[in-house]
Amino acid sequence: MASSPLPASVLDLAPVVPVVVIEEAGDAVPLARALVAGGLPAIEVTLRTPAALAAIREIARGVPGAVVGAGTVVRPGQVGEAVAAGSRFLVSPGWTDGLLEAMRASGVPFLPGVSTASEVVALLERGVREMKFFPAQAAGGTAYLRSLSGPLPQARFCPTGGIGPASAPDYLALPNVGCVGGSWMLPRDAVAARDWGRVEALAREAAALSAGGTCR
């Protein structure tokens, strides 16, 4: 099956990017299908489990509506593995020059993680304008991101970390936020029970979020 086309920007695929931890590769396809059916095509599979690369591979092959990416990319060597498995984008919680170079060379869109103004400036200096803001709530939340929009308006963010359906609209209202990342549409009990109908319903609610909580 042909892979999904590369997105021009990860930030513009949907208001919410599900952050997925997959323990069993066999769950990857039905879980991804539920998210896509609910209107969330961008799926970040974190490289936190032994099943992650196999899960990315299965989603890339078996869910044509999905744009699957790899999250928690923390070493340059993971970049090639993730892209070879079918990742269409990359997300890291932070960055180094080596990791940034590997992500840039991969040819797929990427979101390096930042939590300070100095990190944002350093990435802008390197030509990177789209970033992950992590851990969003702990690092200052909407107030911090709002304060960055004045001096650094060219930077755009996907905040992730501690965000839920109640706080997501506040982030999405900011001029420098393109989307948010979260896992609230994947409750542990629903995934454990393989209740994909519940996951789809929660994904549909998340896909309808925008600034002020209305559909955009």
Positions marked catalytic: 44, 132
Sign of CA dihedral 214, 197, 13, 152: positive
AA letter at 88: R
* Residue carrying structure tokens 């209740």: 195
What is the DSSP secondary-structure string of the chain?
A: -PPPPPPS-GGGS-SEEEEE--S-GGGHHHHHHHHHHTT--EEEEETTSTTHHHHHHHHHHH-TT-EEEEE---SHHHHHHHHHHT-S-EE-SS--HHHHHHHHHH-S-EE-EE-SHHHHHHHHHTT--EEEETTTTTTTHHHHHHHHHTT-TT-EEEEBSS--TTTHHHHHTSTTB--EEE-TTS-HHHHHTT-HHHHHHHHHHHHT--GGGS--
Q: How far, in Å, CA of 126 to CA of 173, rounded? A: 27
